Amino acid sequence: MLSVMMIESKKCGASITWISTAVLIAFVIICAMGGDLVSWPLLGFEVIFPFLTAILVCEWVQTLSDPMIDVIIVNSRSLFRWVAGRFLVVVGISGALCIICMLGLRLCMLDFSLAETFFVFMVTTFFFASIGVFSSFLSRQPHVPAAVCGVIWLLTLMAKSMIRFPVVAYLYPLLKFADPDTEKWLVNKMVLLAISICLWLLIYLVCRKRRVIG
């Protein structure tokens, strides 16, 4: 796993760092210029940055669309370790930069619950990024995972009014942003976490079928 992470970090680390940093700087500038009508912490760390990280995962954690996938399968004892290693590199770099930005905003600019925002960010990011990895096993077209994540994200934003139904509220990925005063957000995030874990179990089963023992 460690060797995979080192290889992948050399391949994509610089690009992920620059992309994430550019978006974070733009967000900080907007926060400084914006007013109080928008909950900037929730907009950034539940809506924007989880989606950004998911798109980065979709573009760099490729499976069926990777032109080297056959070589990876043959030369890796476990395809799952390779996929998980790629995932951890992308989410680790982008997530670490987002957390640094979160700390900076809390210390210098905005007043919000750091622990609550951190938990919301991590679970939402894990949810959308897991969908991206799972979608990469559905097609050999390289941009299908990003399209799947994008469609789900857009439909979620468009379906904001549906959270008045309890069942929808528990499954709505952006519940805290849609309704900051809701008491259901913690259960909502636990449900999303459970769904994400189930997706990774499916990913493991798919990878296990391609496992090469050598």
pLDDT along the chain (214 residues), means of 10: 57 80 93 82 95 92 75 72 88 94 91 93 97 89 89 93 89 93 93 96 84 40
Number of independent structural domains in the chain: 1
pLDDT at 3: 58
pLDDT at 213: 38
In-domain check, residue 120: yes
In-domain check, residue 36: yes
In-domain check, residue 214: no
pLDDT at 122: 97
Dihedral angle sign, alpha carbons of residues 96, 54, 106, 195: negative
DSSP per-residue codes, 125-149: HHHHHHHHHHHTTT-SSTTHHHHHH
pLDDT at 74: 65
Structural domain of residue 83, as residue ranges? 2-209
pLDDT at 12: 66
